[in-house]
Amino acid sequence: MNRSDQALLDLLALYRLCGGGSVSCLRALEQHGEAAAALAAARRDPALAARWPEARDEAAIDLAWLRQNGVHALAHADPRYPPLLRRIPDPPALLFVRGDLDALWAPQLAVVGSRQATAGGLATARDFAATLCASGFAITSGLAAGIDAAAHEGALAAGAWTLAVLGTGPDQIYPPRHKGLAERVAQSGAVLSEFLPRSPARRSHFPRRNRIISGLALGTLVVEAGLASGSLITARGAIEQGREVFAIPGSIHNPLAKGCHQLIREGAKLVESAQEILVELSPLVAEWRDSLRALPAAQGESGPVAFENVSREVGDDPDYAELRRALGYDPVPMDALVNRTGLTVPVLSSMLLRMELDGEVVCNPGGTYSRSIGSR
């Protein structure tokens, strides 16, 4: 077994020994520095030593499944770990990701709401998601029935990145009827979970999942939610994480509007169009991009870690040359760049972020892009 697989095997065993608990796992890693040392210390505890053989064997099964299915396992210290998620008070110790790791680094908006949404609510979720994707955002949600699924579908229809956060292990899909949707999300973005393989859906998992949905995103939009909806947990978690919360109002006679109205009373921003969200989030996107610029220097890298798996290089790559021709010094919206270059939104988002970090491109308010004054 190579060194990388051994390190991951140790981490999986420690995570299982900690019962899949991120807090205890991170505490052990902080105390001992690496998983192997933490495991050695744990085995000196009689209670933990008794559980060690099972944890070791289960971890070996986990590793085999991850490798066989091409699923990434990102430790909290991994430079590819999403930076916004790392900032929350209780980040996952381990994140299982199936799909495109670059999607984790896109500016994201979480879209959540009722599982029993109205036809109007579903249409609103799809339309908002598609419009926001056209401005370069990825859409993050929880793969649930109703608003979650509609938001994913809106992003997929726009040819953009979307991320689905599971309340199960990475090898389980809930609800089962969304297996096809999950596959399409993985092909066009990422499906992720902090729960170990073979973990079924449990009621206690979903509040934990919700903090990841809000933690990945710059803001959370609630589209239809009753007063007892789990979406309110996500929204309040976003507030605790220091993120923006938006809510769409509805009829006073609609019980699925009452949760949104309650959030608005508590300080969420009332929005009636996706453009209002873009105006609010544009300054935050600029701050987020500035923080990404600081990462390479802080980590001793020559470029942003989000792109270490991107095969194309900025230099003379024909797609980058085509994108430069499509850009001018006047702001250009994402949909115009798609039409001019023939490239998809996810590909353009990666390329534009890389060019922006290199100082070639400026992201303007409203999600438009232009050549920077100093670019050639």
What are the tens digits of pLDDT across the range 52-100? 999 999 999 999 999 999 999 999 999 999 999 999 999 999 999 999 9
Percent of the chain at pLDDT exceeding 70: 91
User: In the prediction, which pLDDT does 319 show?
Assistant: 87
As a CATH number, domain 298-371 is 1.10.10.10
Tell me the pLDDT band of 296, cut-offs 50, 70 and 90.
very low
Tell me the pLDDT band of 300, cut-offs 50, 70 and 90.
very low
Contacts of 242 (CB under 8 A, 6+ apart): none
Specify burial of residue 37 (Cβ count, 10 A radius: 0-12, 13-18, 19+): middle
User: In the prediction, which pLDDT does 293 show?
Assistant: 61
pTM: 0.83
Q: What is the pLDDT of residues 118-140, one digit of tens each?
A: 999 999 999 999 999 988 899 99
Percent of the chain at pLDDT exceeding 90: 68
Q: What is the mean pLDDT of residues 233-239?
A: 95
Domain 89-272 has CATH 3.90.1310.10: no
Lowest-confidence pick of 194-198, 201-205, 329-333: 329-333
Residues of the chain with CATH 1.10.10.10: 298-371
Q: Check whether 353 has a pLDDT greater than 80.
A: no
User: In the prediction, which pLDDT does 294 show?
Assistant: 61
User: In the prediction, which pLDDT does 286 show?
Assistant: 75
d(CA 224, CA 112): 8
User: In the prediction, which pLDDT does 374 show?
Assistant: 64
Contact 55, 17 (CB under 8 A): yes
Q: What is the pLDDT of residues 244-275, one digit of tens each?
A: 999 999 999 999 999 999 999 999 999 999 99
Residues of the chain with CATH 3.40.50.450: 89-272
Tell me the pLDDT band of 315, cut-offs 50, 70 and 90.
low
Contacts of 7 (CB under 8 A, 6+ apart): 34, 35, 36
Q: What is the mean pLDDT of residues 30-54?
A: 91
d(CA 356, CA 361): 4
Closest by CA to 14, choosing from 92, 43, 4, 5, is 43
Q: Check whether 212 has a pLDDT greater than 90.
A: yes
Mean predicted lDDT score pLDDT of the chain? 89
d(CA 141, CA 149): 8
Q: What is the pLDDT of residues 144-200, one digit of tens each?
A: 999 999 999 999 999 999 999 999 999 999 999 999 999 999 999 999 999 999 999
Q: Check whether 314 has a pLDDT greater than 60.
A: no
Neighbours of 2 (CB within 10 A): 7
Token pair 């534009």 in the structure block, residue: 352
User: In the prediction, which pLDDT does 289 show?
Assistant: 72
d(CA 184, CA 62): 23
Neighbours of 13 (CB within 10 A): 25
User: In the prediction, which pLDDT does 358 show?
Assistant: 75
Q: Which amino acid is at 294?
A: A
Contact 97, 317 (CB under 8 A): no
User: In the prediction, which pLDDT does 307 show?
Assistant: 38
Asked if the peptide bond before residue 283 counts as cis, ω within 30 degrees of 0, the response is: no
Coil/strand/helix, residue 281 = helix
Lowest-confidence pick of 107-121, 164-178, 309-323: 309-323
Contact 246, 269 (CB under 8 A): yes
Closest by CA to 111, choosing from 101, 124, 120, 98, is 124
Contacts of 173 (CB under 8 A, 6+ apart): 143, 166, 179, 182
Tell me the pLDDT band of 302, cut-offs 50, 70 and 90.
very low
Q: What is the mean pLDDT of residues 11-23?
A: 92
Query: Half-sphere exposure of residue 18, counting CA atoms within 13 Å on the CB side?
Result: 25
Give 371's strand partners: 361
